[in-house]
A and B are shown apart, each in its own frame.
Chain A
């Protein structure tokens, strides 16, 4: 089945230690998103790729970076995680037109 896959599902890192979360998709969608979701809150868009074009949200901290080496893969790099970065990170994809988003299962990040 076509899907969005996120690895790992759970990630524990230490304060200040860089961490990379990965996302892959078999849907061949042009758009890929990274969201941060804290407990009992709506997903907060960090950035997205429209094909190869990178779009950063204005309030996304510089500590967060992203890479999309090809259509199928997208990575979220947190250069120096702080305690406030502990959250669920959701990857999603969509087609160009209708904006229905297909989400992966998420990676829960814990910062010690």
Chain B
């Protein structure tokens, strides 16, 4: 069974500064990886996903993530954050190949400071 660790529960960052939200996973097989964003009182919205191919994945709103198999990581980055990026971010993993359940991390709250 797979698991996901988001080490940082909260990350404060000043507006226009870069940010990295960390995600590590464990799995004995190949995986699919996802980052979701959740704004207050909203559902989750997919930011980006890694299924196969290039390890650098670009998503919406200027976010990107890099799949690092040797370090079992999938950290989310943005070079310059905006106030509107304030939200909770969830990393998720599923085993690849056919229908598999998704496991979510506990989330990281990004607080962008003006």
> Which A positions have Cβ atoms within 8 angstroms of B?
4, 6, 31, 40-43, 45, 48, 50, 88, 90, 92, 96-106, 108
Contacts and interface: CB of A to CB of B under 8 A. Distances in A.
Interface of B: 9, 32, 34, 36, 41-46, 49, 51, 88, 90, 94, 98-102, 104-107, 109
B43 A42 contact: no
A43 B104 contact: yes
Nearest to A96: B99
A100 B41 CA distance: 21
B32 A90 contact: no
B102 A101 contact: yes
Nearest to B91: A42
A50 B100 CA distance: 11
Nearest to A50: B99
23 contacts: A6-B43, A40-B88, A42-B104, A42-B106, A42-B107, A43-B90, A43-B104, A48-B101, A90-B43, A90-B44, A92-B43, A97-B98, A98-B49, A99-B94, A99-B99, A99-B101, A100-B32, A100-B46, A101-B44, A103-B44, A103-B45, A105-B42, A106-B43
A106 B107 contact: no
B30 to A, nearest CB: 13
A102 B104 CA distance: 14
Contacts of B104: 42-43
A45 B99 contact: no
A46 B53 CA distance: 32
